[in-house]
Chains A and B, each alone.
Chain A
Amino acid sequence: MLLHKAVLAGLVAGLFAAAPALSQQKVKIGFITTLSGPQGVIGNDMRNSVELALDHLGRKMAGLPVEIIYGDDQVKPDVGKQVADEMLKKHQVNFVSGVIWSNVMLAVSPTVTGAGTLMVGTNAGPNQLAGKDCNERHFTTSWQNDQTPEAMGKYMQEAGINDVYVMAPNYAAGKDMLNGFKRYYKGRIVDEVFTRLGQTDYQAELSQLRAKNPKAVFVFYPGGMGISFLRQYSEAGLRGQFPLYSVYTVDELSIPAVKHAALGQLETRYWSPDLKNPANQKFVGDYQKKHGRPPSFYGAQSYDGMMLIDSAVRAVKGNLADQKGMIAAMRKADFNSTRGKFSYNTNHHPIQNFYLLKAVAGPSGKDPVMEIQKTVFANHRDSFYKECAMKW
């Protein structure tokens, strides 16, 4: 009996002694995205891809088990910041990742890096964080916002397309997209039209557009706005009349809702499901198998986010206290990215290719799919890295 008690006491003591050590033996990642409301569809795709990445890693990084904590920002900067605070203080995460929206990112990233934790953004790329507010603890696996419209501007410039009619929602990102576009497109712009954020009916604008008779149309309509816009564009019979070019408007999440109305759509992007490299084929194939539909670029860059973190943890052999070592490792971008090989610029934003994609008919009666047409930019740097004071 006495022996029993002693053994038990010993066991309990052992447990308590081991507990803190055990909790150190884990890689804790906080992943912030939007999981509720209409935009939750993006967050869902990101979460699916993060889970797939962890499955591919065997849920371990450098032999340490990975614990992932998801947080919902509800598309609100203040909520995103709160969620980040909770991850930092309560869960004591080693990395914070995710974040779809630029305004949320501008609230979350300084909170995370200010607390001395590493931030791996997997979507939003506001120019501030690529330029004057760059930070050695902040990395992104996606892009700087302007890069994608810059690619479309360059393509349309080189294709000699003139008289372009441009449209975007009237908010910060809408204006950024047009600025990015005009950085490379130097031809005539027939008219610039800004519509209300969240607008559902575009018939009035489409009537004006038809009357102006442009040679081409360039738009930025993310999410539900894009779905409404594409349907109405097609329904108004403009599809055949004025070629439509866009950024962040047609993707794997919106195609099921617009189907044939997307056919022929041209978009620029750094990634596509048909990109031929082993990492991408594994990612797209397994995602398709698990969820019955192709992943979106939001997913691809979130998958990459986990792989980037894994490369850092492996480089320091699981010694998570060695932050300098992890930063040095991440700067090498030494992992198999779904976009293929890329490198990091001095501001921790990717130097990468951008492609022209077209929505073409899918296999036998299936939804249209995005297909790469050509490379628009090889190893494209963003336009803000010179404002970043970081040197390495």
Chain B
Amino acid sequence: MILIIEQILNGLQLGVMLFLMAAGLTLVFGIMNLVNLAHGALYMVGAYLATYFFQATGSFVLGVALALAGTLAVGILTELVALRTLYERDHLDQVLATFGLILIFNELIAMLWGRAAIYSALPEYLQGHLEIAAGLRYPLYRLLIIVVGLAVAAALWYVVVRTRLGMLIRAGASNRTMVAALGINIRLLYTVVFGFGAALAGLAGIMAGPIYAVQPGMGELVLIQVFVVIVVGGIGSIRGALAGALIVGLVDTLGRAFLKPFLATVTTPTAADAAGPALASMLIYLLMAVVLALRPEGLFASRG
């Protein structure tokens, strides 16, 4: 029982990480109709900047703040320099161009920090465990990730539902032409949304830094799962991104943890050994296929 709770926490933690990535990606796709493969690169930039600023300033909190601002700036710059020219092009052109951006960012990072993974520390006060219940000790840092992720989700909800900016974002997701026709500076809105999305991806990277390998190309490893999340959740919908991320996080984690033992009870242990890991790594794609078959627009599609 304790183990199941622990695995649910693990799933939740993976889910909120995916959510931070997915929120930006889904907004950019929903509002700007832009397929941005380079979203993972911003995650990488966040991780590198946080590591760099933490080392330079000696303060984790200051490092995180500077890295967030830095990723925001990199995101806005990318939008102004490269992505602006792509909105009118078709999706294949966007895929090609943003794939090019991935290569550019990876090589740039390799030039600045080298190809080897770099060391990114966790401050001492975030190491260690918290006893949540009897027999359940959970790493403090992972709990922090869950808390930050959920807080960001709540803040996003507030911005999107309760503020004027959020209204524009929602309107933009539903009908871009109409928003532009009503005299809203759609270019500025695009830049703001993209910068916002970049900062969220950066935040995911910042939090991933101390526990994953910080190296060029680290963003591409998570990007595929993030695409699954937004397809499951419904493209363009923040609510969908949150639900999709939590579902994908939980399904992936619980599948990795319990699928093999479960299969062993219904078939032979040898068959479970062979099928378990393969099936567990396919699970989220199977889920995506089922969602696509039943609700092609995703679980929480934004109404267009």
Contacts and interface: CB of A to CB of B under 8 A. Distances in A.
Given A195-B256, A198-B221, A207 B277 contact: no
Nearest to A198: B221
Contacts of A57: none
A236 interface: yes
- In this complex, which of B118, B127, B212, B281 has the most chain A Cβ atoms within 10 angstroms of its Cβ? B212
A357 interface: no
A304 B278 CA distance: 39
B212 A201 contact: yes
B194 interface: no
A192 B14 CA distance: 23
Given A235-B141, A237-B129, A204 B7 contact: yes
B211 A235 contact: yes
B287 interface: no
B212 A200 contact: yes
B216 A37 contact: yes
B116 A207 contact: no
B83 interface: no
A88 B303 CA distance: 59
Nearest to B116: A41
A208 B211 contact: no
A227 B117 contact: yes
Given A207-B10, A224-B215, A227-B213, A41 B115 contact: yes
Given A200-B213, A237-B129, A257-B213, A205 B116 contact: no
Interface in A16-54: 37-38, 40-41, 44
A95 B281 CA distance: 41
Contacts of A204: 7, 10-11, 14, 253-254, 256-257
B141 A224 contact: no
A253 interface: yes
Contacts of B39: none
A288 interface: no
- In this complex, which of B106, B141, B222, B277 has the most chain A Cβ atoms within 10 angstroms of its Cβ? B277
B100 interface: no
A257 B117 contact: yes
B273 A258 contact: no
Contact of B222 (A192, A200, A236): A200
Interface string B214-226: 1111100110000
A376 B142 CA distance: 39
Nearest to A258: B119
B292 interface: no
B293 interface: no
Interface in B203-248: 208, 210-218, 221-222
Nearest to A254: B117
Interface residues of A, number: 35
A238 to B, nearest CB: 11
B119 A259 contact: yes
A15 interface: no
A321 interface: no
B98 interface: no
B13 interface: yes
B116 A228 contact: no
Given A235-B141, A253-B116, A228 B13 contact: no
Given A195-B256, A207-B257, A257-B214, A41 B10 contact: no
A40 B122 CA distance: 26
A224 B213 contact: yes
Contact of A44 (B115, B127, B139): B115
Contacts of A203: 10, 13-14, 142, 253
A232 B211 contact: yes
Contact of B257 (A40, A200, A208, A253): A208
- In this complex, which of B106, B115, B142, B212 has the most chain A Cβ atoms within 10 angstroms of its Cβ? B115
Nearest to B141: A235
Given A228-B212, A257-B118, A37 B277 contact: no
Contact of B139 (A196, A200, A236): A236
A38 B122 CA distance: 23
B6 interface: yes
Contacts of A198: 221
Contacts of A205: 256-257
A38 B212 contact: no
Contacts of A231: 210-213
Interface string B107-144: 00010001111110010000111000000010101100
A170 B213 CA distance: 19
Contacts of A211: 3
A193 interface: yes
Contact of B221 (A40, A200, A259): A200
A8 to B, nearest CB: 47
B170 to A, nearest CB: 32
A127 B123 CA distance: 45
Interface in A90-124: none
26 contacts: A37-B106, A37-B216, A38-B218, A170-B281, A195-B277, A200-B208, A200-B212, A201-B211, A203-B13, A203-B14, A204-B14, A207-B7, A207-B10, A207-B257, A211-B3, A224-B117, A227-B212, A228-B213, A235-B127, A235-B211, A253-B116, A254-B117, A256-B116, A257-B117, A257-B215, A259-B119
Given A193-B260, A228-B211, 5 more contacts: A38-B115, A41-B116, A194-B277, A207-B10, A257-B214
